[in-house]
Amino acid sequence: MLSEKLVFTQLESKSLEIAESANYDITIDASGLLFFNLKDASKVNFNFHILDNVQARIIFWNEGVHNAEVSEHYEVGRDANLNIIYGELSDGSLVRSAIANLRQGSEVLVEGASITASNKRQTFIANHLEKYTTSNLNNYGIVTDGGEFFLDVTGKIFEDAVGSKAHQDSKILTLSENQKTQVIPQLLIYENDVEASHAATVGQVDEMQLYYMQSRGLSEMEATSLLMSGYLLPIARAIEDEKLRVHVQELIADKVDEICSIDKK
């Protein structure tokens, strides 16, 4: 297995294609964006060190057909800001485990979108180790016929981590009764002077929304496609680089059309 130790000191925008199993130890001490295309990697371990006062955005993109196991560990320094974006559109199975340790004044924002047609298990834990830390863990997904999806999201505020905020929002759209979906939102609070909230919804396409959209001239498939896109496009809007944002939007549209069997004109 490949092992690499990387240091980014003048980071603006960097793309890395990962085509094999590997271990990465990455230190980021300059603000910017990292884009990882998981491509054909079957097992990848990441250790990230986000240094004090750095604003880092990390995008993981996966649209292959392979099975993957991904482990991520983040050490987020004081007053650092970390934004993690997941575009999980692969047809293969996935096991992902991510842990972020937050130091004083740091923030982590997770924006994840996934389509599950096989078996995907994702776990994310935000550890508020020191005071005035913030986590916003947002996950949106679509589970198609035969898919199995498991999501475990935990915000843990430790004792003495006063002024910390832990928030979660998970929305999963199921397209068939022949699927299994489980979402576990957890808040573990060991300090009084904090804010914490979680919301989780799992359900099929709203019939009233479909009826309204069809009454405006859309077919059932076109209406379903628009609703599905609404679950996935938030990750594209989070990307500031215009070319990359448009590319991600196009990839999401192609995947949604594939699922809905809509022929492109």
Q: Are 119 and 95 in contact (CB under 8 A)?
A: no
Q: pLDDT for 13-49, tens place per residue?
A: 677 778 678 899 999 998 888 888 887 778 999 999 9
Which pTM does this prediction carry?
0.89
Q: Per-residue pLDDT averaged across 174-194, rounded?
A: 94
Q: Per-residue pLDDT averaged across 191-200, rounded?
A: 95
- Crossing angle of helices 242-260 and 220-232, rounded to 10°: 140
Dihedral over alpha carbons 8, 244, 121, 125 (to 10 degrees): 50
pLDDT given for residue 224 in this prediction? 77
Higher pLDDT, 214 or 141: 141
DSSP H helix total and E strand total for the chain: 4, 16
Cα atoms in the Cβ-side hemisphere of radius 13 Å centred on 171: 13
| Ranges 73-87, 193-207, 235-249, most confident | 73-87
Q: Are 144 and 172 in contact (CB under 8 A)?
A: no
pLDDT given for residue 11 in this prediction? 55
Q: Per-residue pLDDT averaged across 184-191, rounded?
A: 96
Dist CA 80 CA 48 (whole Å) = 13
Alpha helices in the chain (DSSP H): 207-215, 220-232, 234-237, 242-260
Q: pLDDT for 216-262, tens place per residue?
A: 787 777 777 777 887 788 777 777 778 878 888 888 888 888 777 64
Q: pLDDT for 125-182, tens place per residue?
A: 999 999 999 999 999 999 988 999 999 999 999 999 999 999 999 999 998 889 999 9
Dist CA 75 CA 235 (whole Å) = 23
The residue ranges of every structural domain in the chain are 2-205
* Burial class for 112, CB neighbours closer than 10 Å (0-12, 13-18, 19+): buried
pLDDT given for residue 1 in this prediction? 55
Higher pLDDT, 240 or 103: 103
pLDDT given for residue 221 in this prediction? 74
